Amino acid sequence: MDKLARTDEMKTRIDGFRPLSHHMLRQIKEYLRIGFTYASNALEGNSLTETETKIVIEDGITIGGEPLRDHYEAIGHSEAYDLLLNTAKQKEITENQIKELHRVFFYRIDAKQAGKYRRQKVLISGTDFIPPAPDLIPGLMTNFVGRIPELRSTRHPIEFAAILHKELVTIHPFFDGNGRVGQD
């Protein structure tokens, strides 16, 4: 059985447990918020452990000796997670929503760049890939967002998500935080 069919089978099994109680849904949401925030930020070099990420997000306590930026990333990612859950209910993805996700995630780290397309060239360490020139970004993003309805209707949800992520990070519209906005 291919992986997408196996995934569909597992989703059907999970759906058999529905409806879930409000309490259980809240627990799952919080569990995923912490795990997703930790994993996403760890990929980018954030030094907080999963437990420390939970303490920062849920208790608002800073972790001694850890960079302030790592705390801001955890809080910003958690807030972007909430925004994403609300945005997902709309069944539409717009440029403004993408910019707002970036702004919410990044405004504590760099308020001037948060939610705005980059205006300078960037280099990505560890790769030969060169992102598009800044003047091309608005048009590329318009085309990207314009293709979303067709991709949604013709692709399996997992393929759809993977394509969106790949295309967004290839355009690399923001100075920093592209991968995390793409994951959200």
Residue 127: both structure tokens together: 């790769």
Q: Evaluate if residue 127 carries a pLDDT over 70.
A: yes
Q: How far is CA 179 from the centre of its chain?
A: 7
DSSP result, 29-97: HHHHHHHHHHHHHHHTT----HHHHHIIIII-PPPTTS-HHHHHHHHHHHHHHHHHHHHHTTT---HHH
pLDDT in tens, 1-60: 699 999 999 999 999 999 999 999 999 999 999 999 999 999 889 999 999 999 999 999
Would you state the pLDDT for residue 182?
66
Would you state the pLDDT for residue 137?
98
Those residues whose C-beta lies under 8 Å from the C-beta of residue 125, and which sit 6 or more positions away, are none
Name the active-site residue from 71, 77, 102, 172.
Answer: 172
The domain spans of the chain are: 22-89, 117-184
Q: Residue 146 carries which side chain, given as an amino acid letter?
A: G
Would you state the pLDDT for residue 101?
94
pLDDT in tens, 45-73: 999 999 999 999 999 999 999 999 999 99
165 carries an active-site annotation: no
Those residues whose C-beta lies under 8 Å from the C-beta of residue 117, and which sit 6 or more positions away, are 99, 134, 137, 138, 141, 173, 174
Phi, psi (rounded to 5 degrees) for 116: -120, 140
